[in-house]
């Protein structure tokens, strides 16, 4: 990961979110409050606008700053959840992490997201993508495999019943729809995997 180009990564993430904003909104309209696509787009465009600023920082500080920016700009419940993911990752990661270091930091960041959302795996949330991705990282899967695992995990939220967030108000009626946060998480995972390629 020595040649990690954070500015490029940020731009790719913002592109991916922007390209799928309508899809994310449609997913959220089905079982949430319908603002996920717009919120995520606003947040990632704000991060893109300061990409050079973030890229100039060491990786831990850059991730913390990106997380803070997301908290302040995404809004909804997604702001604190995605923001916490990046902030916690920044707190746990080293400036030049290897695969083991990234895996350990990612695991702790997932724990922070679970605590923030008072949620756990199996409740139809972004955690249902993050956890399989963490396992894939730990098992030494390739970047391409990890991107596919994230997509499959997002799709696997379709038959789940939501137990957290606005969708949980719908109870059984939340079954049959993909969770918007799981979808956006899978998009980000694929973007990171395809942009930085194989992790050391």
Partner 1 sequence: MSNVGIVIVSHSPLVAEGTADMVRQMVGDEVPLAWCGGNGHGGLGTNVEAIMGAIDQAWSEAGVAILVDLGGAETNSEMAVEMIGEPRAHKIVVCNAPIVEGAVMAATEASGGASLKEVVATAHELSPS
Distance CA 189, CA 191 (A): 5
Among 97, 117, 132, 181, contact with partner 1 (rule: CB under 8 A): 117
* Contact track, partner 1, 48-77, x by CB under 8 A: --------------------x--xx--xxx
Among 28, 35, 92, 179, contact with partner 1 (rule: CB under 8 A): 35
Nearer to partner 1, 35 or 92 (CB): 35
Nearer to partner 1, 20 or 64 (CB): 64
- N-to-C CA span, the chain: 6
Do 196 and 99 contact (CB within 8 A), yes or no?
A: no
Nearer to partner 1, 68 or 131 (CB): 68
Q: Is the dihedral of CA 35, 53, 195, 124 positive or negative?
A: negative
* Contact track, partner 1, 72-111, x by CB under 8 A: x--xxx-xxx-xx---------------------------
Distance CA 191, CA 178 (A): 19
Distance CA 57, CA 41 (A): 23
- The backbone torsions φ and ψ at residue 94, rounded to the nearest 5 degrees and listed phi first, read -90, 170
- Nearest distance from C-beta of residue 136 to partner 1, angstroms: 27
């Amino acid at each position: 990961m020595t040649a990690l180009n954070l500015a490029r990564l940020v731009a790719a993430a913002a592109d991916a979110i922007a390209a799928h904003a309508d899809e994310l909104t449609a997913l959220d309209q089905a079982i949430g409050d319908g603002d996920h696509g717009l919120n995520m787009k606003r947040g990632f465009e704000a991060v893109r606008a300061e990409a050079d600023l973030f890229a100039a920082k060491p990786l831990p500080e850059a991730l913390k700053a990106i997380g803070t920016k997301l908290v302040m700009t995404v809004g909804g419940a997604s702001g604190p959840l995605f923001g916490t993911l990046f902030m916690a990752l920044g707190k746990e990661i080293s400036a030049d992490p290897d695969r083991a270091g990234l895996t350990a930091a990612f695991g702790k960041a997932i724990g922070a997201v679970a605590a923030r959302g008072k949620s756990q795996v199996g409740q139809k949330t972004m955690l249902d993508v993050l956890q399989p991705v963490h396992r894939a990282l730990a098992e030494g899967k390739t970047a391409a495999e990890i991107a596919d695992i994230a997509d499959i995990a997002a799709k696997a939220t379709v038959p789940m019943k939501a137990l957290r967030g606005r969708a949980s108000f719908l109870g059984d009626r939340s079954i049959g729809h993909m969770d918007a946060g799981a979808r956006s998480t899978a998009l980000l995972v694929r973007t990171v995997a395809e942009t930085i390629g194989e992790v050391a």
